[in-house]
Structure 1
Amino acid sequence: MRPYLRHVRPALLILLLALASAAGVHVLARDAGAGPAPEASTDADLAGSRDLARRLRETDGLRDVTVTVRDGVAELEGVVLDAGDRERAEQVASQQPGISRVENRVILSTRLSERLALATTLAMDKLTRLIAALPLLLVALLVVALAWWAGRWLGRRAGQRIARRNWQSENPYFASLMQQLVQWLALLGGVLVALDLLGATALVGAVMGSAGVIGLALGFAFKDIAENYVAGVLLSIRRPFAPGELLRIDNTHEGRVAALTPRATVLVTHDGNRLTLPNALVFKSVVLNFSSNARRRLEFAVPVDVSESIRCVHELAMEAIRGTDGVLADPGPSWTVDGYDATAITLRFFAWVDQRESDLGKVRSEAIHAVRTRLQQAGISPPRNIQFTASLPAAEVAAPPVAGMTQAPADGTSRGDTSVNRDLDAHLAAEQRAHAGEDLLPGEAGPGRDR
């Protein structure tokens, strides 16, 4: 084995040397063939770097930015004062032909002196522009002032026109509302013209859009307040009631009208208390106005014993009602049988009262008193709570007069007080004075009112 190895080793050594020589020749040939490419790439990167550097120097705020281009990749370095300058540098580099990618290593300057210098420069630039635009700004302000004056003049003319047509007597708030509407519309037109002169029409769109969004948010937030205000305006225009009139709202709240404010309707109850109702509730509810018609009907029921004559009772009662102060002759009193059972016959009587001259409650009380007295004088018996099993003589049935009882007039007529009730006048006047600055109703009731 050893003699054989002695002959193999020289052969292997010669083979290795031959392979090494071939590999060296191949490497030299490859290097020789690829030698010109790096030189050409370097020249293109250098030219691109110079061109890009020149463009950066020509751009404001990018003079301190340096650029290096390697294999189509632009590396930006340096310091700028504004974030917008940093983005602009990257945009300029990306637009350079031959640049495939940009590595932006530009940083913002943190030096106080440079930041102050930039702020001063910006402030001076804006001040210079403002001074240059000062004549145009004065013209725009003059346009707004003229629009405000024209709006006030047109508003007054509109109010005077409404007053000449007697609309204000029907609705005093309508004239003021129209005057303010015309005034604000004219002012809005002047502002739009002024902004157009200043070249700020885009700002108008932004402001109007923002106002719409804000208005929508406020509308949801203050929905109830806005609803009451709109209802107050509509009530002042439609005027379903006037101050001093007696109302029943939603079949629950009753009182006399003291004032109609933009947000609430103020009533004075029969007890003299203030009742404040939201305008939206009043606008949507059923409102019963007892005072819209000067004439109002009263009614009351009179029970009599089943043994009495209905015709006789009704004639006596109608005579007594006609003689009561405050009862109108046209339309005259009327009656009907309201009920009949084993214990009593119930007759219901009706009469009309002029609320401008008489109080309904007082006239009703006097009419009941007159009917009772007249029936008592005629010997008409009321219903008996105790059923008798035997008939008694007439002398024993009639009860003797009670000592101290006031005897009614022989003719059965009543001369009681039926004048208009003025108990709440002081309360109404106080409430009207308290809401005088915001009352949407006129100070006095219109024709045909009880106040």
Structure 2
Amino acid sequence: MEVCYKSWGQSCFVCICLTCSLVLLSKVPVHGQQENAVQTEAETSPDEQQAPARVDVEPVAEDADIGSRLKKILVATKWFIDPQVRVEEGVVFLTGEAKTPEDREWASKLAGNTQDVVAVANRMTVTKPSPWDFSPAWLEIDKLRRNTIQTLPVLLIAVGLLLVFWVAAKLVAKLSRRIASHRTTNFLLQEVVAKAASIPVFLLGIYLALRISGLTRLAATVLGGTGLLGIVLGIAFRDIAENFLASILLSVQRPFRTGDLIVVEGRKGFVQSVTTRGTTIMTLDGDHVQIPNSTIYKSVIENITANPNQRQTFVVGVDYEDSLEEAQAVILDVLKQHTAVLAKPESLVLVDALAASTVNLRVYFWISIAKHDGLKVRSSLIRLVKNALVEKGFTLPDEAREVIFPKGVPVRMLDASHQPMKERRSALPADRNNEPEEISTQSEGSLTSDAEEIEQQAKNSRQPESGENLLPPKKLEEAGESHGEEKI
């Protein structure tokens, strides 16, 4: 939950900064726009002033009066440097320097609209600004300062409203998460429900904050672009979205849980965690393997530990001359006496095939994989069955092979020590016949399962991927099953 609050805080901080910037930019006036009405006529830029339609001097204006009147007007505006006006026969000649081309054009219109002026010869030059003149920049900064002060109250209200909705979204998320926890123990579903309930509340806060700030069009764009943005992100991050949806389905359906031994795409290992990206398993060799959730969801999953019992098998070949019924009885007796073999389901010894030099017997037995390791038990049983058959005088021939003796076959007489297997078995001491066979040898080790050892190794190892495990802990899930809790 701490990670979720941090992500909410970062998102809110970015949204607040973006809102403030948009509000300030929206209040900056465009160049050439009319200034405040408090400014005097002399302080207003000439492109914002309209030349008078008519300048009345006298019913019949003299050239001197026209020139004097125009010069006084040009000097009063303070937009020109050393303006000079000369009038001859109604033709006005303007000289001097104008600060901008707009000022020069304004002077021409002014003179043309003066009474008894028949033509205007504007010979004014435009002053080229110095590259070191920063007055336009300072003017813009001053305008921005004034607009910031004017919009500050509205901006504070918008930010305050955004903070209120942010707190409301957190409360809604917490309440939704608590309600969802009573319905399901799935952590991912709880987070999805919490975000689905809180995000619309926060988006409503952003919309109202933009409306109050005067950015109505941007507010409508935010609401209208949310769905389009989701489609674009879905296409751009298709694999990420596919793995995320697969993680939701896996956490809901739960084909496995933490600690289960599964086989997916030919990889066998114990489940360690399931994140929004993939599932981490630890193989029997102690290696961490990350498999994308989409691959797991679409693949065949073999859950070995879902059923606590597992059937194992191996093949034993006896000689054609041996009694199959006796061989089956000897093998079955070994299976019944073995401590790791379950009594139910019962073990079977079936005739499997007639091979080249042997009659193959296939042995089936059941073990509890929660307690014992299948490979170790199988090794122990093969060793015990082989010893039992040899001790009972059964022959275990190998595959028939052709042997060529180019110089003939040497023949020699056997002494008394070379006896058939049955005779030699009967000649063994009585205590040797009754000596019990060890269930497991030192090389085979303990017959217990390696799941606990691998689980301990997983706890001591570094997790290859950070992220919250979507599967509940094994002890918590077992406790829920013991209390009969229903899983969604």
Note whether the superposition's TM-score is higher than 0.5.
yes
> What's 2:37 paired with?
none
Distance 1:310 1:319, change over 3 A: same
Unaligned runs of 5+ in 2: 1-43, 54-99, 104-125, 403-413, 480-488
> What's 1:439 paired with?
469
Distance 1:409 1:265, change over 3 A: farther
Q: Does 1:304 align with 2:355?
A: no
In 2, the alpha carbon distance for the partners of 1:118 and 1:65 equals 25
SS of 1:257's partner is strand
1:245 counterpart letter in structure 2? D
Q: Does 1:245 align with 2:270?
A: no
* 1:287 CA displacement: 2.0
Instruction: Report which of the two has the higher share of helix.
Output: 1
* 1:220 CA displacement: 5.3
1:31-110, aligned counterparts within 5 Å?
A: 61-63=47-49, 79-80=101-102
Q: Does 1:172 align with 2:187?
A: yes
> What's 1:147 paired with?
165
Q: Does 1:326 align with 2:340?
A: yes
In 2, the alpha carbon distance for the partners of 1:315 and 1:80 equals 117
* 1:336 CA displacement: 3.0
> What's 2:181 paired with?
163
SS of 2:294's partner is helix
> What's 2:439 paired with?
414
In 2, the alpha carbon distance for the partners of 1:114 and 1:201 equals 40
1:266 counterpart letter in structure 2? T
* 1:160 CA displacement: 1.9
1:185 counterpart letter in structure 2? P
In 1, the alpha carbon distance for the partners of 2:434 and 2:138 equals 104
| 8 Å CA contact 2:207, 2:222 repeated in 1 | no
In 2, the alpha carbon distance for the partners of 1:285 and 1:425 equals 25
Q: Does 1:134 align with 2:152?
A: yes
SS of 1:348's partner is strand
Q: Which moved more, 1:219-228 or 1:345-354?
A: 219-228
In 2, the alpha carbon distance for the partners of 1:206 and 1:141 equals 19
In 1, the alpha carbon distance for the partners of 2:52 and 2:397 equals 119
SS of 2:448's partner is coil
* 1:231 CA displacement: 3.5
Q: Does 1:348 align with 2:366?
A: no
In 1, the alpha carbon distance for the partners of 2:46 and 2:230 equals 42
SS of 1:424's partner is helix
* 1:265 CA displacement: 2.4
Which is greater in Rg?
A: 1
> What's 1:430 paired with?
460
TM norm structure 2: 0.59
| 8 Å CA contact 1:337, 1:347 repeated in 2 | yes
Residue by residue, what CA displacement relative to the aligned partner does 1:333-359 show, whole Å, maximum 9, x if unpaired?
A: 134332123422212222222222222
In 1, the alpha carbon distance for the partners of 2:250 and 2:288 equals 20
| 8 Å CA contact 1:301, 1:347 repeated in 2 | yes
> What's 2:68 paired with?
none
Provide the aligned C-alpha RMSD in A.
Answer: 4.3
> What's 2:420 paired with?
396
In 2, the alpha carbon distance for the partners of 1:293 and 1:343 equals 38
Unaligned runs of 5+ in 1: 1-57, 68-77, 82-107
Distance 1:160 1:184, change over 3 A: same
Aligned residues: 348
Distance 1:258 1:229, change over 3 A: same
| 8 Å CA contact 1:257, 1:266 repeated in 2 | yes
Distance 1:322 1:440, change over 3 A: same
* 1:413 CA displacement: 7.9
1:381 counterpart letter in structure 2? T
* 1:370 CA displacement: 2.9
2:449 counterpart letter in structure 1? V
Q: Does 1:182 align with 2:197?
A: yes
1:148 counterpart letter in structure 2? W
